[in-house]
Structure 1
């Protein structure tokens, strides 16, 4: 028994004749007759009886038809799903990203991908770096997106772009005219930044220690957007990553290069012993396109925005 035999049997039941079934399926009447005979042989049952010019299904055929129709429909659905999976039109894509990467890029990347592949189910989680690494190692997510550098043989780590730490000032701050803001310029400011236990905060601390400068964050946050909202509210001055600026820009802020300079690398990670699906590759391309657009938007951003804000 095979799919073609089931299809022929169901279509003869539905049309009432071998010739009509053949026309619907685009095959000859003898081909339909052969498929039905082979099915009868496989099942050891008589499925049709001819009375005059009419073909009538037997009681056995009528009993078998609902199950045969259901099996055939499921097989066709499986074939169609397989085709969509091959063409990356359907499937499930499991992703995870840190809060900072999600805020800067993920919403737009998922939106673009969903428009391209509306039948794909997306399972997305926003998590701290360590759980993302663990999920990638356990094959629970196909790709993880984060700032932290990853070492070890269990994971692949592909850098996507680099971002510099910048200083975000209130519009009329005393340092608004400076081309670059040095940490030493902020002795009397309330500094809003990442915890030194985070990768970004730890990186700033190490860069400061290399210059013999003590780093402090008076107010610790885990999201750049929150820091910038605090700056806009006049609470203090923020040190955050530059690529988050274009996605979470407040209205009354000025952005300046920060010294000592600290560079963060945005990377995509995955299990080394797993081959990325076509869906994952396509999503990663969408993600990188969004990053490219953000970089383009942020190019020359600091001076342009500062000049515009200062003249308003």
Structure 2
């Protein structure tokens, strides 16, 4: 497909109709339909069928879409880079971070980076850990910072330090009188935490099992950033990373969780940075912010 056909195909897949796609691309419906028909004829594929008055993608279109979407985003990234080179701009770096570290190490590193390079454009994405890895694999980010393992042969990883887990409690909770909180203290309380199919959940399962207890999750979360509001509203207690617990805000208090459970803070480097010098500078700022918070990678 040429670039225009790709754009039209992607728009129809995303909006579900020719009318909506034409509006999105600011073209007439007949023009868009003509481009779509020409693509189908050129490649001898039927991409869409009308079923009960609705436009439905064919299996072939469904198979093509993820690849077409990736190519379209790569083209958009290339156009932005060409424009930056043409206009003499300071370049661009793209950072994807786990939501729990966005407000601490991520924010501190970005502030330092921007102070040093105010001419550079920085894209800052705070996401669930799995989406951080996907951003890097799809080359939509140059660097990642996450508390969950990243398994991808094309990505380079570096452990910057270790973050311990903490128990997050409602303000005024009797458990706040304790210096430390363990599984035996919260086993009968509504627990806000990750499922056992996640890295965090498996580590917590092991900590409970060490005390001869079974971890029972009352409210399952998929990103730690949702826990503080739930705890603050009185929905239960949570086990989250200490960085997030420290920034949870009013209505909550945290205590160290014992037995000690630690997760590695991992810097992830993509395989095709658009501006290597800027990316290296941002990576250095992330390392410095992590060292200031955590004291290095010794655990």
Interval of TM-score (by shorter of Structure 1 and Structure 2): 0.5 to 0.7
Deviations along 1:203-244, whole A, 9 cap, x unmatched? 212333455421122122344443223333333222111112
Measured in 1, the distance between the counterparts of 2:272 and 2:266 equals: 18
Name the CA shift for 1:232/1:131 in 2 (closer, same or farther; >3 Å): closer
1:181 matched to 2:181: yes
Measured in 2, the distance between the counterparts of 1:190 and 1:111 equals: 38
Contact map agreement 1:153 1:272 (CA 8 A) in 2: no
How do residues 74-223 of structure 1 correspond to structure 2 at under 5 angstroms?
81=88, 90-223=90-223
Q: CA RMSD in A?
A: 3.0
**Larger relative contact order (Cα-Cα within 8 Å, sequence gap ≥ 6):** 2
Equivalence for 2:290: 291
Measured in 2, the distance between the counterparts of 1:160 and 1:206 equals: 24
Equivalence for 1:5: none
User: Which structure has the larger Rg?
Assistant: 1
Deviations along 1:170-215, whole A, 9 cap, x unmatched? 3332223322211111133111222333322232123334554211
Name the CA shift for 1:280/1:170 in 2 (closer, same or farther; >3 Å): same
| Regions of 4+ moved over 6 Å | 77-80, 273-276
The alignment's TM-score, normalised by the length of structure 1, stands at 0.58
Name the CA shift for 1:115/1:219 in 2 (closer, same or farther; >3 Å): same
Contact map agreement 1:243 1:295 (CA 8 A) in 2: no
- For structure 2, the residue ranges without an aligned partner over 5 or more in a row are 1-83
Equivalence for 1:277: 276
The alpha carbon displacement at 1:162 in A equals: 0.8
Measured in 2, the distance between the counterparts of 1:110 and 1:274 equals: 17
The alpha carbon displacement at 1:112 in A equals: 2.6
Count of aligned positions: 212
The alpha carbon displacement at 1:157 in A equals: 0.6
The alpha carbon displacement at 1:272 in A equals: 5.5
Equivalence for 2:260: 261
Contact map agreement 2:94 2:122 (CA 8 A) in 1: yes
Measured in 1, the distance between the counterparts of 2:272 and 2:115 equals: 30
Measured in 1, the distance between the counterparts of 2:97 and 2:236 equals: 28
Contact map agreement 2:97 2:145 (CA 8 A) in 1: yes
Equivalence for 2:46: none
The alignment's TM-score, normalised by the length of structure 2, stands at 0.61
Deviations along 1:12-45, whole A, 9 cap, x unmatched? xxxxxxxxxxxxxxxxxxxxxxxxxxxxxxxxxx
